[in-house]
Each structure stands twice: as C-alpha cells, then as structure tokens.
C-alpha cells in the first residue's frame, strides 16, 4: 500500500537505507533528549477546534520574505542527500518547485550551488556554514549569482557535535557526499562537515568561529536577505534584531547538535516575543503532521521547515517521494485548517491552542515585558547590560 502519512514513509525508508546511514540521519546527539522532546512537546499541544463557519474555500498560500509560496512548509537545509538517492538535492529541488515551495541547499550538499540552481525552477535559499572569510565570500557570491533568494546562516553548530551512534558504528560521511560545493578544493582546505557527528578530535580540520559582531561584514557581501537558523533564546533573538537580520529559524537542528535543550516549539514563543514583528520567524524540528504546522503558525511562525522527512521521501521514491511527502503535509494542513474554522493560514492565532503546563509560561506577563525590553534595546534606549539584568530579574535568575 502507498504511504499515507510521514510515518509510513519513515518505516519504508528505514527498510531500504543501510543501517549506518539510517542512524546518521535519524538519531539525535547524546541521549536524544532534545530529539524526543521535539515530538513530545508538539504532541502535548492540543487544539480547540471551532465550527459553524463556512470553510469550503481555503487558501494555504503565504509569502516568505516577499516570495509567494503555495503553503507554509519549506525544505530545511540538509547535507549529503545522495546518501539515500543518487539524484539527491536535485530531486529535492525539483520536488520543491513542483509543490510550489522553497528549498534550502546546505553548504554541505552533494550537488553544488550551480547544479541545483540549474535543475530547480522554484525558489532556493542557500544555507551557509561560515567557512572562513574567503570561502564564505565565494559561497555567498556564487549563491547570489545563481539566483538564490536568501542566505540562511546556521549558527547552532559552533563546533561539530559528537554523534555517539556514528562513532559506535565507526561510520563517517563519505567526503563526496558533502563536498559538492568544494569540488575544486582539497579535503584539508575545507572546514569540517558541521553535521557529521565526527568532530575535530577525529582528524578533521578546525572549525572557524563567527560572532554577532561579524554579521555586518556578512551582510555587506550580498544584497540577499539574511536569515539566521538555530536561535534558541529571546536574548539571541533580540540581538539578531539589533543586527538587522531579515528572518530567524527557531530550530534545535532536529536534536542533532547540543542535547538537553528545550524543544524547538517551546522556544518559539519567547523568540516571537523578543523579535516583536521586526523579522520573519520560521520554525523547524519535529514537524511530521499538518497539525504541527498549524501549531507553529499559531505560536507566531510564518512558515515551517522539514528535515528528516525529505530523506524518507527521497529514499522511498526520489523526487516523486519528496513530492508525496509535501503533498501529504499540504493535505493534512488543509484539513486541520478547516477543522479549526479558518479559511487561510493568515487567520491562525494562538486562541486555537490548548498549551501544556510546561508552555503556559509563554502566555504569562513576563514574556510581554521581555518583548517590551527587547523593543527598547533595539531602539538603543537601554543597553545590552540593562536588558540582560532586567530580563534576569523578571525570570528570577540570580547572579552568582
């Protein structure tokens, strides 16, 4: 029988992919606490559906940084897609175009910026891992020249995070799977593969740091909008606003990097509050159902991204598999939209949600106050130090 939901794709993909590769794609870091929490917290948010409304005509379309897309579900940057299908990122880009949405291409992709741009007829983002001044300049320029619509800088991997499962499997990503953008370089010229789980201690070259203070330099390289991926706190979100970024992806990297964090959905409200409409906010980590998309939108995201389900679609049936994954999510979102009494995604608000006690904090007054403080800070009316100390006293954090 054809897969009818994303979990069907997951189990079918698992049976076709070698177990080392499966572990690399599916597992989280260390104890997998963040990975599990991404799902359990999304599942613990319940809906308060509304009826007796005319919902026969529905519109799922939206815009992302001004770019119209057919529904608010995008493809997250993910490295090495040829691990599960020979067409890799080309198949994914074509599927995204058919579905009418945006695909992000990873710095660590198998296929290059130019190859994917030539194959894709839909909008693309380029996901950047900072690779040092010269390499980064080159990558950003290539992405802009190839027609990509945004630069999405991933910040939550300052150093690679050990994935114990890969070490135990004695498995490393084959270099050709993540060097599509560096085919002209030797292996030692390029930074470590940031999502490989094999860290510097295992013989990889060192990673190259990037700090908030360097964001103006990065922005000066391109006319494209800058999106920051991996923000987990109101504080960093407020700083992103201060540095004038265009978008933020609230993401815990699908639980693949630092463990023991809040789930991504728990983080979303404080980031939304701190940003206060000054940048678009997107969400990823754990999206498997149309209802997950609705929940994220209700909490303030403009769109969501999916990571692992792309590998499942690719593994099962290449481009057609990814198209089907996107189609399933489209239909599920359409259904839950109607059941919640909405006819367009712009109407979704948080009154539709019943939050678990762990998340009720997002509705208590201090979030509003932090939002106000972030506003004052971004207008230069209070210093970073004042922002931090007021926020800490609101949260009851004692300075040692």
Ligand X SMILES: Cc1cc2nc3c(=O)[nH]c(=O)nc-3n(C[C@H](O)[C@H](O)[C@H](O)COP(=O)(O)O)c2cc1C
Q: Which residues are catalytic?
A: 253
We find the least distance from the C-beta atom of residue 256 to ligand X, in angstroms, to be 6
Which is nearer to ligand X, 178 or 342 (by Cβ)?
178
Burial label for 44, CB within 10 Å (0-12, 13-18, 19+), is middle
By CB under 6 A, the residues from 152 to 191 that bind ligand X are 154
We find the least distance from the C-beta atom of residue 287 to ligand X, in angstroms, to be 6
Of 309, 295, 304, the C-alpha closest to 356 is 295
Stretch touching ligand X by CB under 6 A, among 160-168, 212-220, 237-245, 301-309: 301-309
We find the least distance from the C-beta atom of residue 128 to ligand X, in angstroms, to be 9
- Contact between 355 and ligand X per CB under 6 A: no
Q: What is the Cα Rg of the chain in Å? A: 20
16 is written with which tokens?
């076709």
Stretch touching ligand X by CB under 6 A, among 50-58, 71-79, 326-334, 353-361: 71-79
Which is nearer to ligand X, 245 or 287 (by Cβ)?
287
- Contact between 45 and ligand X per CB under 6 A: no
- Contact between 124 and ligand X per CB under 6 A: no
Per CB under 6 A, the list member of 3, 269, 290, 307 interacting with ligand X is 307
Which is nearer to ligand X, 13 or 274 (by Cβ)?
13
Place of tokens 């990823």: 284
* Residues 6+ positions from 214 with CB-CB distance below 8 Å: none
Pairing assessment for the beta strands 353-354 and 303-306 based on DSSP bridges: unpaired
From residue 235, give the alpha-carbon distance in Å to each of 116, 167, 179, 285, 321.
Answer: 35, 34, 34, 20, 39
We find the least distance from the C-beta atom of residue 72 to ligand X, in angstroms, to be 15
We find the least distance from the C-beta atom of residue 237 to ligand X, in angstroms, to be 17
DSSP at 365:
H
What is the crossing angle of helices 308-339 and 290-298, to 10°? 70
71 is written with which tokens?
């529904």
Start-end of H helices in 6-108: 6-16, 19-26, 33-44, 88-99
From residue 262, give the alpha-carbon distance in Å to each of 285, 291, 309.
Answer: 11, 20, 21
Burial label for 109, CB within 10 Å (0-12, 13-18, 19+), is buried
- Contact between 306 and ligand X per CB under 6 A: yes
Helix or strand run (H / E) with residue 271: helix 264-275
Per CB under 6 A, the list member of 308, 324, 371, 391 interacting with ligand X is 308
Per CB under 6 A, the list member of 17, 25, 91, 314 interacting with ligand X is 25
Per CB under 6 A, the list member of 94, 130, 253, 371 interacting with ligand X is 253
Of 284, 281, 280, the C-alpha closest to 74 is 284
**CA angle 240–246–251, rounded 5-degree value:** 65
- Contact between 89 and ligand X per CB under 6 A: no
How big is the site for ligand X, counted in residues (CB under 6 A)? 22
Which is nearer to ligand X, 284 or 323 (by Cβ)?
284
- Contact between 122 and ligand X per CB under 6 A: no
Which is nearer to ligand X, 169 or 251 (by Cβ)?
251
Which is nearer to ligand X, 128 or 359 (by Cβ)?
128
Stretch touching ligand X by CB under 6 A, among 218-226, 249-257, 268-276, 368-376: 249-257
- Contact between 265 and ligand X per CB under 6 A: no
Residues that bind ligand X (CB under 6 A): 25, 76-79, 106, 108, 127, 154, 195, 229, 251, 253-254, 256, 284-287, 306-308
């Amino acid at each position: 029988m054809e897969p009818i939901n994303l979990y069907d794709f997951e189990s079918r993909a698992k049976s076709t992919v070698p177990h080392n590769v499966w572990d690399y794609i599916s597992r989280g870091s260390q104890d997998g606490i963040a990975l599990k929490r991404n799902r359990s917290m999304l599942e613990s948010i319940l809906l308060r559906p509304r009826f007796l409304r005319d919902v026969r005509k529905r519109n799922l379309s939206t815009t992302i940084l001004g770019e119209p897309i057919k529904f608010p579900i995008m493809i997250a940057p993910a490295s090495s897609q040829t691990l599960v299908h020979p067409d890799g990122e080309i198949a994914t880009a074509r599927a995204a175009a058919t579905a009418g949405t945006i695909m992000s291409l990873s710095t660590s992709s198998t296929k290059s910026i130019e190859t994917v741009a030539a194959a894709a007829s839909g909008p693309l983002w380029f996901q950047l891992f900072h690779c040092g001044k010269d390499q980064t300049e080159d990558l950003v320029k290539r992405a802009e020249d190839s027609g990509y619509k945004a630069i999405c800088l991933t910040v939550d991997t300052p150093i690679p995070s050990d994935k114990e499962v890969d070490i135990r499997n004695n498995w490393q990503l084959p270099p050709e799977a993540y060097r599509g953008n560096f085919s002209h370089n030797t292996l030692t010229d390029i930074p470590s593969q940031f999502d490989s789980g094999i860290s510097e201690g295992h013989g990889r070259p060192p990673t190259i740091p990037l700090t908030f203070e360097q964001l103006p330099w990065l922005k000066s390289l391109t006319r494209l909008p800058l999106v920051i991926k991996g923000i987990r706190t109101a504080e960093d979100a407020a700083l992103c606003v201060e540095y004038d970024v265009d978008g933020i992806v609230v993401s815990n990297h699908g639980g693949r990097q630092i463990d023991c964090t809040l789930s991504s959905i728990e983080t979303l409200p404080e980031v939304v509050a701190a940003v206060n409409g000054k940048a678009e906010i997107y969400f990823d980590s754990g999206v498997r159902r149309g209802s997950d998309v609705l929940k994220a939108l209700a909490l303030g995201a403009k769109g969501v991204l999916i990571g692992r389900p792309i590998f499942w679609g690719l593994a099962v049936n290449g481009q057609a598999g990814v198209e089907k994954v996107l189609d399933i999510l489209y239909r599920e979102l359409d259904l839950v939209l109607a059941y919640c009494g909405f006819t367009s995604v712009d109407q979704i608000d948080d009154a539709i949600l019943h939050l678990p006690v762990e998340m009720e904090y997002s509705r208590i007054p201090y979030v509003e106050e932090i939002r106000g403080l972030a506003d004052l800070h971004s207008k230069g009316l209070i210093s970073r130090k004042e922002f931090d100390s007021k926020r800490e006293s609101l949260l009851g954090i004692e300075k040692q």
